[in-house]
A and B are shown apart, each in its own frame.
Chain A
């Protein structure tokens, strides 16, 4: 590794907001800054909805930032450029083209002559281990094979920078491990012209396996919350103590409460008090299942989150919403990568079905502003009824349309379980009584 690498890509003060109809714009990315240096692999790790895919697309030139700029070799990027290519989560292959034609596509766009095009494509196909599949259509291939085509297509254009948007998350565990190892082989043996790779992922272990540098993204709005260098040599062993320690550290970083540094984040904190707080998308059964697992005798008072995540086969996208919801409802407390049951949480576990509902209802009304808002409104209204559209409209003051509908759905889900209120999907009305 070169000691003082020169930045290839500079991401400078990127902000991105999406327009909303009435209220202020919805901020997705807030002042994102980082560099991508030569000979390094950087992983962007964050929960879903943290805008990490958006920043990747801004770097690729697919989306324009609201403010700020991305420099590639000191040139600002305003549209996709040569030298950078991308691998997609769901491969993004054209189903009507064969493997060979798919790989040739980027070369065709660059007007590479026919013969050269063919030669280069075939060489790349060999390189990624797809030899013999040149004339197959993507439909005939397994997911892992399809993603190999995706890699071949990205590499054949001699790109310097490879952007990867959760490239392994649509594959099963073994296939993704296999493909990851092959990618690292290509990278280490320098068979390609790649100078740097940027991978977006929500898989903590994957990030720890691949990255030389890790950027942890916070959600709503997204910004780089923490940075971490990983100096382990490749190939890394998941069972080695050093690696386990690194994974532990990442969990600690990710569960650490956000520092209230910037003014914006003060208002961000305040949002928890308002109805517009983005409720984590978790089912009640998931919550109680999680609590029961925590209570099982094999675990101590404080439980290591990585252990729990592994035991329950949960990744970042599933784990953190659950812990988030448990914290909101004050069933559990998370600190420094550990999680602990609260008193209420223990009561909840021991209760029978009806008592559980009562406890849940109490927690909902006292700690979830949206639910207490709905509850209070229902009590005040003479008919004790309120329409979905009213609530969603109020939510839209804080959230995007999509998010408003999702939050509403989650609130309904929780509220119905706790029997705080009833909801009729046909009339889209909330009320106190079920028929």
Chain B
């Protein structure tokens, strides 16, 4: 499984930059700036009703944990729904594909946390006088943290359906609806689950971060683990912090054992090929359930229900959606429609670009923007040095473990578990250390950024080592290729693509985390760091949306440019060796 999914991911990131990316960048920023503009106009003080009381008593924790988990799950459901609609559209319609895929590439690099404050404001205006607004904003943040990844994976699965299966489903005249559920979704399931697993860390991170936020100097606290932690930080209650960490640990353990592992085990059957290299997912719960009569009964009924759902006549009888939407229209309309489409796109592009220009021109001076870019440079330096640092740490460990299959069998699930743990729960502990020992906050807060995303590097190194052909080990052993020569000639070239993919993911995550990691606090002390993350979080607090917006855009540009100029060329260069290897 891992191999496929990684290479899928690799493919998606390996797009070269083209004019569409630039155009879409303008389009998206422009759209956002319009939204912000309007919000700023309407942004009369909003009421969130009475402040909700959060208690630091550990007895309330289970309740909070449940509420946080629900937010996460709702976000996940929304992501899946979005994925099924947008991913399918992108895979089946050429015109849609041309817009959706680069758009997702850009959206992936937009920090979800940055949008949180914007989302809160818009949702609060949408549902005034109720908690629904902040709730939606929190869910929306979780959604943006994971949806892009999942949608891309689904799209790629749809694009790579084996030819014969497509033909078989056409020969036996499956309707589009049935084809979707019988062929496309099952085929995409392993990829979807793998990507959900990868995004879990980000999802928990953003659930926690989005529950307690300060927007425009107003505290909004949703009942949940995140608010509990925030309150604990405010009142410097170390005990409460440990309670929260313990609770989170238990929640993730339950989530992992009761929900995710059983589903992974169940999804084994959707895997296309059964290579010996894969470690099968095992779940005690699933085994238990499989052997329980009641569950068997439930399962067979669900299956029956599902089958009859598929066979509902009015949806499934005539193919309601032709498999290629464009063919729904007579051939002679294609060209005019395409022309009109491009004209509209071009016109809106101009409009958005103009608005963006106006916005930037109005909102700030050149010196301000220059300053923000300088801040971005600082954060970029942090991110890159941390990536290098964690590679130095995790590369040998990952290689050592990857070469020992027995270790992999238990290290992999446990790191998956650890990776899901939201790193921001640990931030206060580091903050305490820094303030106690009077450490330089500019340097020592930076490891916080990588805390949650270093696992990507570790995962990928292990995967890379595991997929290295065994006979190559034996050959190098035979010729007594050792130490540095062994690394240089065998290992590094072989796992480099995996390593780069991991580092790419880790760096994206680190940029995201910088918004929180660069402005941590403990009780009264606030460690303010000079950096783009700190800048964004500061203006989110103050409610200065224009500055926030510019900060976000700059961060986005940094992430994209680093992707285009460093990661992608590096990946292409490195993939050459590996390509010859396989």
A80 in contact with B170 given A96-B270, A105-B182 (CB within 8 Å): yes
Q: How far is the CA of A272 from the CA of B164 in the complex (A)?
A: 34
A79 contacts which chain B residues (CB < 8 A)?
A: 170
Contact pattern, B 131-175, Cβ under 8 Å of A = 1, otherwise 0: 000000000000000000000000000000010110110111111
**In chain B, what residue has the closest Cβ to A112?**
B311
CB distance from B526 to the nearest CB of A (A): 53
A62 in contact with B317 given A90-B164, A92-B164 (CB within 8 Å): no
Contact pattern, A 71-111, Cβ under 8 Å of B = 1, otherwise 0: 00000000110101110111111111100000001101111
**Chain B CB within 8 A of A426 CB:** yes
Q: Is the CB of A95 within 8 A of B310?
A: no
Q: How far is the CA of A97 from the CA of B270 in the complex (A)?
A: 9
Q: Is the CB of A92 within 8 A of B270?
A: no
**Chain B CB within 8 A of A57 CB:** yes
Q: Is the CB of B168 within 8 A of A96?
A: no
Contact pattern, B 535-566, Cβ under 8 Å of A = 1, otherwise 0: 00000000000000000000000000000000
**In chain A, what residue has the closest Cβ to B179?**
A109
**In chain A, what residue has the closest Cβ to B168?**
A92
Q: Is the CB of A94 within 8 A of B186?
A: yes
Q: Is the CB of A85 within 8 A of B171?
A: yes
B270 contacts which chain A residues (CB < 8 A)?
A: 95-96
A93 contacts which chain B residues (CB < 8 A)?
A: 168
Q: How far is the CA of A153 from the CA of B164 in the complex (A)?
A: 14
Q: How far is the CA of A93 from the CA of B168 in the complex (A)?
A: 8
Q: How far is the CA of A60 from the CA of B47 in the complex (A)?
A: 65
**Chain B CB within 8 A of A19 CB:** no
**Chain A CB within 8 A of B296 CB:** no
Give the one of A82, A91, A96 with max B CB within 10 A.
A96
Q: How far is the CA of A92 from the CA of B163 in the complex (A)?
A: 8
CB distance from A117 to the nearest CB of B (A): 10
CB distance from A281 to the nearest CB of B (A): 20
Q: Is the CB of B310 within 8 A of A108?
A: yes
B175 contacts which chain A residues (CB < 8 A)?
A: 109
The tally of CB-CB contacts under 8 A between chains A and B is 72
**Chain A CB within 8 A of B313 CB:** yes
Q: Is the CB of B172 within 8 A of A109?
A: yes
Q: Is the CB of A85 within 8 A of B172?
A: yes
Within 8 A of B (CB), among A397-435: 425-426
**Chain A CB within 8 A of B274 CB:** yes
Q: Is the CB of A157 within 8 A of B311?
A: no
Q: How far is the CA of A92 from the CA of B183 in the complex (A)?
A: 11
Q: Is the CB of B165 within 8 A of A94?
A: yes
Q: How far is the CA of A300 from the CA of B79 in the complex (A)?
A: 72
**Chain A CB within 8 A of B272 CB:** yes
CB distance from B161 to the nearest CB of A (A): 11
A84 contacts which chain B residues (CB < 8 A)?
A: 171
Q: Is the CB of B183 within 8 A of A94?
A: yes
Q: How far is the CA of A198 from the CA of B167 in the complex (A)?
A: 17
**Chain B CB within 8 A of A139 CB:** yes
**Chain B CB within 8 A of A137 CB:** yes
A137 contacts which chain B residues (CB < 8 A)?
A: 269
**In chain B, what residue has the closest Cβ to A137?**
B269
Q: A86: which of B162, B171, B307 is its contact (CB, 8 Å)?
A: B171
Q: A110: which of B162, B167, B173, B183 is its contact (CB, 8 Å)?
A: B173
Number of A positions contacting B (CB below 8 A): 32
Q: How far is the CA of A61 from the CA of B269 in the complex (A)?
A: 31
Contact pattern, B 168-200, Cβ under 8 Å of A = 1, otherwise 0: 101111110010001100100000000000000
A62 contacts which chain B residues (CB < 8 A)?
A: 167, 170-171
A88 contacts which chain B residues (CB < 8 A)?
A: 164, 167-168
**Chain A CB within 8 A of B572 CB:** no
Chain B binding surface SS class: helix
Q: Is the CB of B182 within 8 A of A91?
A: no
Give the one of A97, A108, A153 with max B CB within 10 A.
A108
**Chain A CB within 8 A of B271 CB:** yes
**Chain A CB within 8 A of B576 CB:** yes
Within 8 A of A (CB), among B232-287: 269-272, 274
Q: How far is the CA of A425 from the CA of B580 in the complex (A)?
A: 10
Chain A binding surface SS class: loop
Q: How far is the CA of A142 from the CA of B317 in the complex (A)?
A: 34
Q: B174: which of A85, A92, A105, A426 is its contact (CB, 8 Å)?
A: A105
**In chain B, what residue has the closest Cβ to A108?**
B311
CB distance from A342 to the nearest CB of B (A): 38
A105 contacts which chain B residues (CB < 8 A)?
A: 172, 174, 182
CB distance from B215 to the nearest CB of A (A): 46
A89 contacts which chain B residues (CB < 8 A)?
A: 164
Q: How far is the CA of A426 from the CA of B573 in the complex (A)?
A: 10
Q: How far is the CA of A354 from the CA of B164 in the complex (A)?
A: 47
Q: How far is the CA of A319 from the CA of B16 in the complex (A)?
A: 42
CB distance from A70 to the nearest CB of B (A): 15
Q: Is the CB of B173 within 8 A of A139?
A: no
CB distance from A416 to the nearest CB of B (A): 16
B172 contacts which chain A residues (CB < 8 A)?
A: 80, 85, 105-106, 109, 153, 157
Q: How far is the CA of A96 from the CA of B270 in the complex (A)?
A: 5
Within 8 A of A (CB), among B277-324: 307, 310-311, 313, 316-317
CB distance from A171 to the nearest CB of B (A): 15
Within 8 A of B (CB), among A338-386: none
Q: How far is the CA of A391 from the CA of B29 in the complex (A)?
A: 43
Q: How far is the CA of A6 from the CA of B327 in the complex (A)?
A: 35
Q: Is the CB of A80 within 8 A of B182?
A: no
Q: How far is the CA of A105 from the CA of B307 in the complex (A)?
A: 11
A139 contacts which chain B residues (CB < 8 A)?
A: 274
A111 in contact with B164 given A80-B170, A94-B186 (CB within 8 Å): no
B313 contacts which chain A residues (CB < 8 A)?
A: 111
Give the one of B167, B274, B316 with max A CB within 10 A.
B167
CB distance from B447 to the nearest CB of A (A): 38
CB distance from A116 to the nearest CB of B (A): 13
CB distance from B265 to the nearest CB of A (A): 14
Q: How far is the CA of A326 from the CA of B427 in the complex (A)?
A: 72
Q: How far is the CA of A86 from the CA of B172 in the complex (A)?
A: 9
**In chain B, what residue has the closest Cβ to A425?**
B580
B182 contacts which chain A residues (CB < 8 A)?
A: 94, 97, 105
Q: Is the CB of A108 within 8 A of B183?
A: no
Q: Is the CB of A95 within 8 A of B272?
A: yes
**In chain A, what residue has the closest Cβ to B267?**
A96
Give the one of A106, A153, A425 with max B CB within 10 A.
A106
B576 contacts which chain A residues (CB < 8 A)?
A: 426
Q: Is the CB of B171 within 8 A of A108?
A: no
A60 contacts which chain B residues (CB < 8 A)?
A: 167, 171
B186 contacts which chain A residues (CB < 8 A)?
A: 94, 96
A109 in contact with B165 given A62-B171, A96-B270 (CB within 8 Å): no
B167 contacts which chain A residues (CB < 8 A)?
A: 57, 60, 62, 86, 88, 92
Give the one of A61, A80, A92 with max B CB within 10 A.
A92
CB distance from B198 to the nearest CB of A (A): 22
Q: Is the CB of B311 within 8 A of A111?
A: yes
Q: How far is the CA of A92 from the CA of B165 in the complex (A)?
A: 5
**In chain A, what residue has the closest Cβ to B175?**
A109
B162 contacts which chain A residues (CB < 8 A)?
A: 90, 92
Q: How far is the CA of A90 from the CA of B270 in the complex (A)?
A: 18
**In chain A, what residue has the closest Cβ to B577?**
A426
B272 contacts which chain A residues (CB < 8 A)?
A: 95
CB distance from B569 to the nearest CB of A (A): 15
B269 contacts which chain A residues (CB < 8 A)?
A: 95-96, 137
14 examples of A-B residue contacts, CB within 8 angstroms: A60-B167, A86-B167, A86-B171, A89-B164, A92-B164, A94-B186, A95-B269, A105-B174, A106-B173, A108-B310, A109-B175, A109-B178, A139-B274, A157-B172
When A and B form their complex, which 8 residue pairs have the shortest distance between CB atoms, in order from nearest?
A: A92-B164, A106-B172, A92-B168, A88-B164, A96-B186, A86-B171, A96-B270, A109-B173
Inter-chain pairs besides A95-B272, A111-B313, A137-B269, 6 sampled, C-beta below 8 Å: A80-B173, A92-B167, A96-B270, A97-B182, A105-B172, A105-B182
Q: Which residues of B contact A (CB under 8 A)?
A: 162, 164-165, 167-168, 170-175, 178, 182-183, 186, 269-272, 274, 307, 310-311, 313, 316-317, 576, 580
